[in-house]
Structure 1
Amino acid sequence: MTQPNAANKATSRRFRHATMRDLPHMQKIYARARELMAANGNPTQWGNEFPRESVIEDDIANQRTVLLVDTCNGHERILAQFALCPGEDPTYAHIDGAWLDDDPYVTIHRIASSGLVKGAAKDCINWCIEHYGNVRADTHPNNKAMQHVLESNGFARCGLIQLLDRPSDTTRIAYQRHEW
């Protein structure tokens, strides 16, 4: 999975749950993601504050945060992070369009890459598909990069949903992939 070179000997990538010790590094990755989104025409999806520290802490405490990590020169690096949320997502109850099915699913939320390696988001999405089979996600209409990642990984665009936890800028494109 990795592409080691002479300067950076890296071991293969693996997934693990985040702990509170990971929080400072995770916050830096989310800050980088917000800056990258804003620089690429998507300044409002996460704005300057999302995800809030309390949301990240809750995800960690409830074992929803999954990290893609590797080891480089003897040190573990976080390559990407995401929240994996099992069960029905209340935001997905109403869709302008149609989900592929009503089968049980997991949802990928708050995915962000550290930028250290290429393909980290794709690896996260593929891991979810391999382990859960039926996966949903959503992204902002201006987040062309995430739309590309989802669509190039076999997700179907199912319609539009409205976020329940914000007063404005609530429209998101809803995606689903179900391995039958």
Structure 2
Amino acid sequence: MKDYPQIERNYARARDLMARNGNPTQWGSTFPRAEVVKDDIANHRTMLLVDTVGGHERILAQFAVCPGIDPTYVKINGAWLDNDSYVTIHRIASSGLVRHAARDCVEWCLKHYGNVRVDTHPNNKAMQHVLETCGFARCGLIQLLDRDEDTTRIAYQRHEW
């Protein structure tokens, strides 16, 4: 929890960056909600990409790794690569201190888990680029279950065989 204030600043930065780059609705002004972020931390789903400069640790990016079946992914307009066990990456945000931090988070997840699913908003061209350059397959479209509008997301998967 000591990192929570910086995590929140990174999410605020990500919301602003998405809005400035033509994607104002994916996270709007409130996502991810504080209770979700705190729950991720409490349940050890939050991962931090860090480095050390001048003896001080810096958070470069953060994301949530969610094991088990993601209810949002049960129904897909398309097809997943397989039905094997997987983890889902959610809520990636960078501090902006270094380039390619999101890619580094995704690659870490692939290295440690092997079978990874993730989704992003159709307007989030930056994340689509990261996923596609990391070798993810575009599997179809899913619908978020926790929203009433703007629910369509592009679903991706990569399975290191």
User: Which range, TM-score by smaller chain?
Assistant: over 0.9
Instruction: Give deviations 1:4-41, integer Å, cap 9, x for gaps.
Output: xxxxxxxxxxxxxxxx1110000000000000000000
In structure 1, what is the Cα distance between the partners aligned to 2:29 and 2:50? 26
Matching residue of 2:98: 117
Aligned to 2:36: 55
Residue 48 of structure 1 aligns to which amino acid in structure 2? Answer: S
Q: RMSD value over aligned CA atoms?
A: 0.4
Structure 1 letter corresponding to 2:140: G
- 1:153 paired residue number: 134
Give the alignment of 1:60-139 within 5 angstroms: 60-139=41-120
Distance 1:83 1:39 in 2: 24
**1:174 deviation in Å?**
0.1
Superposed structure 1 runs of 4+ greater than 4 Å apart: none
SS at 1:151 equivalent = helix
Residues in 1 aligned to 2:147 and 2:62: alpha-carbon distance in whole angstroms: 23
In the TM superposition, residue 98 of structure 1 has moved relative to its aligned partner by: 0.2
Distance 1:108 1:158 in 2: 15
- Identity, in percent, stands at 76
Q: Which runs of 5+ in 2 are unaligned?
A: none
Cα distance, 1:127 vs. partner?
A: 0.6
Shift of 1:119: 1.3
* TM-score, reference length from structure 2: 0.99
Residue 21 of structure 1 aligns to a residue whose secondary structure is coil
Name the counterpart of 1:12.
none
Match of 2:146 among 162, 165, 172: 165
Which residue identity does 1:87 align to in structure 2?
Answer: G
Shift in Å at residue 74 of structure 1?
A: 1.2
In structure 1, distance between residues paired with 2:58 and 2:21: 25
2:18 pairs with 1:37 = yes
- Structure number with bigger Rg: 1
Shift of residue 60, structure 1, vs aligned partner: 0.1
- Superposed, which structure 2 residues align to 1:3-14 within 5 Å? none
- Corresponding position of 2:122: 141
CA distance in 2, matches of 1:149, 1:96: 22
Counterpart code for 2:99: K
